Structure 1
Amino acid sequence: MPTRMGNEHPSLYPYEPFPARDKDIVIAVGNNGQFARLCRCLGAPELAEDERFRTVSARNANRVELRRLMIERLAARDAEDWFERLKAVQVPCAPILGVDEGVRFAEGLGLDPVVLAGSGDREIPTVRHPVEFSRTPVDYTQAPPRLDGDRDTILTWLRNAQPAARQAS
C-alpha cells in the first residue's frame, strides 16, 4: 500500500478522486457489490473476479495497479457522463465542481441553493446554508461585509484576544 494517502480513503478502495477525460470525479466504493457494478460500468467486469481486486483487502493491497487500470478506462468519457452512468448502477460518485457548477448541480436536483442576504443596495446573492434548523433558523438579514468592511473591529478583537491566548499557553 502506498505511504501517501492524500484524498484516498485509508481502508476502502477505490475511494478517491480519479481523472476522467475532462476533470476529476470522486468514486466511493464501499463494498464488493459496488465494485462489481463499477467494473461492469467501466467495461471491465473481469476486474471484479481478479484475485488482486476481488475483496476489500485485496483492493487495498493492490490499489496502485487498480488505480492505473481505472484511469485507463475513465479517460474515455467526461466526468459528467461517468457520473450519470455510475449513478444509474448505484455506485457512489460525483464530479468535482466549482462553486458555479455546484450551484447549477444543486438546482438540477431541485434544490434552491442561492439566497439573498442583506437588504436594499446591500442585498447580495450567496450560497444557502446546507442545513435547516428547527429551533434556530439561519438568518440572512445581514449581507457579507464589504472588502475590509470589518477590518477595524477584527483587528481590535485580535489585539484584545492575544493576552488571553498567551495566558492560556
Structure 2
Amino acid sequence: MINLDKYQIRDYVKESDAEVIEKITRETNYFTKEETLIARELVEERLQKGIKSSYLFNILEKESEIAAYSCFGEVPCSYISYDLYWIVVRNDLRGNGIGAYLLKKSEEYIKKLGGYQIYLETSSKDLYAPTRNFYIKNGYKESAVFKDFYNFNDNKIIFNKIL
C-alpha cells in the first residue's frame, strides 16, 4: 500500500491535464483509441466551458504529477443521480489502494453536491472482470445488463450505489 497522505486531490483541471489524462488512460490498455480520445475531450470541454460543463473531475496527484483521476457528472434531467464516467489509475500505481481511495473521495464529493446515487457502466469482456470486481468490492450492485451492446458477446453492465 502507498502512503496516501503524500497525495492531494484537486477538483479542477489544468491545460496540461488533457495530454497526461490521455496518456495514462491509453497506457492502461483497457480502452480503445476512441475512448482514450474521449477522456481527453472531456478535460478539454471542462477547460473551455468551466462550470457550465457537465463534467467534474477529481485529480489525485503527488508533487504535481497525476497518479489517477475520476470524471463524473450529474445525470441530465436528474436531481439526485450521477454518472461515474472514468476512474483511471496510472499503471505503475495500480493495486495499491489508490483507485478505492479516489472512488471514495469522488463519492464524498458527489454526496456534498446533493447526489444520492451513482451509476457507472462497464463491459462484460473478461478483460474487465477486475474492474467489475473492484466496483462490487466497493459497494456497487449490478443493476442492468444490455446484451450485445458494445459488440456481439460484449454486454454493457450497469452498476449503481446508493450513497
TM-score for both structures, normalised by structure 2 = 0.27
- Please say which structure displays the higher CA radius of gyration: 1
TM-score w.r.t. length of structure 1: 0.27
Higher strand share: 2
